[in-house]
Structure 1
């Protein structure tokens, strides 16, 4: 088995209630707005999910299975590239936890079991902060961040 990187953990506080943040993680049009992808699934334990480009190409960049769903508190799903979908050694795991703080929400993403030094690890550690910051901005202001000057992965 390949060497694993330490867990990547990212926490952010969002000025939106827990249900709104949960919906932002799953709603097709919202994920398109802040992620440039649709996250497609029925979001039931054991179901497949796909991270599909929203450019009309239908390209699936990431895929996995829903491992755990506890709306609106916690979701866990596997994460891998479609070309590695049948290789468990290439699979990582994402845990998203939401905690209500009155009218606000604490969102924590933990991405574990990444292969140390892999392109996936690099993409994930750069990608999650941008994606979650964009979600936060969208939910708080109704607009997304301008991505023109962002570094390209």
Structure 2
């Protein structure tokens, strides 16, 4: 039985260059500053990549393969929880499209091939907006935001 698939698209505009945005996605030392994780790979098609928590434990949380790389305009990777790495059905796909836009950059992140209603589907709907807001903040101000922040409950 095939599960229904869904996708998530997020577009943001960043006062930066395509090269700096692409580097922020692919260079571990930059990603840790806005994501709290490092994206580790040699970024060649067919290579693996790991999303490693930038803390003392260095836990690998996500894994996948590099599908397409065209610096500084496009990166496509597969994406799965490390615990589901052996299950082909557990993978989704993320595309980063970076385009110059009137002195800025338009970054479009498309996360598709997601199992509708899954934990990953729900998680990325909360995760991508704060991660990409933090990326924008880092590149525009030099400081990311706390991607692990939780909303305050009403008293």
**TM-score bracket for this pair, using the shorter chain length:** over 0.9
Q: Which residue does the alignment assign to 1:18?
A: 18
Deviations 1:108-149 (A, max 9, x none): 000001111111111111101110110000000011124574
Structure 1: 5+ residue stretches without partners: none
Q: Which residue does the alignment assign to 1:128?
A: 128
Contact between 1:52 and 1:62, CA under 8 Å: does it hold in 2?
Answer: yes
Aligned counterparts of 1:150 and 1:77: Cα–Cα separation in 2:
28
Runs of 4+ more than 3 Å apart: 146-149
Higher strand share: 2
User: What is the Cα deviation at residue 101 of structure 1?
Assistant: 1.7
The verdict on how the C-alpha distance between 1:19 and 1:5 changes in structure 2, with shifts beyond 3 A counting, is same
Aligned counterparts of 1:133 and 1:62: Cα–Cα separation in 2:
20
Q: Which residue does the alignment assign to 1:86?
A: 86
Aligned counterparts of 2:139 and 2:148: Cα–Cα separation in 1:
20
Contact between 1:78 and 1:92, CA under 8 Å: does it hold in 2?
Answer: yes
TM-score of the aligned structures, taking structure 2 as reference length:
0.92
User: What is the Cα deviation at residue 150 of structure 1?
Assistant: 2.8
User: What is the Cα deviation at residue 28 of structure 1?
Assistant: 1.3
TM-score of the aligned structures, taking structure 1 as reference length:
0.93
Deviations 1:46-81 (A, max 9, x none): 000000010021210000000000111101000001
Q: Equivalent residue of 2:115, what SS? A: coil
How many equivalent residue pairs? 152
Aligned counterparts of 1:110 and 1:92: Cα–Cα separation in 2:
10
The verdict on how the C-alpha distance between 1:2 and 1:127 changes in structure 2, with shifts beyond 3 A counting, is farther
Q: Which residue does the alignment assign to 1:107?
A: 107
Contact between 1:80 and 1:91, CA under 8 Å: does it hold in 2?
Answer: yes
Aligned counterparts of 1:147 and 1:61: Cα–Cα separation in 2:
15
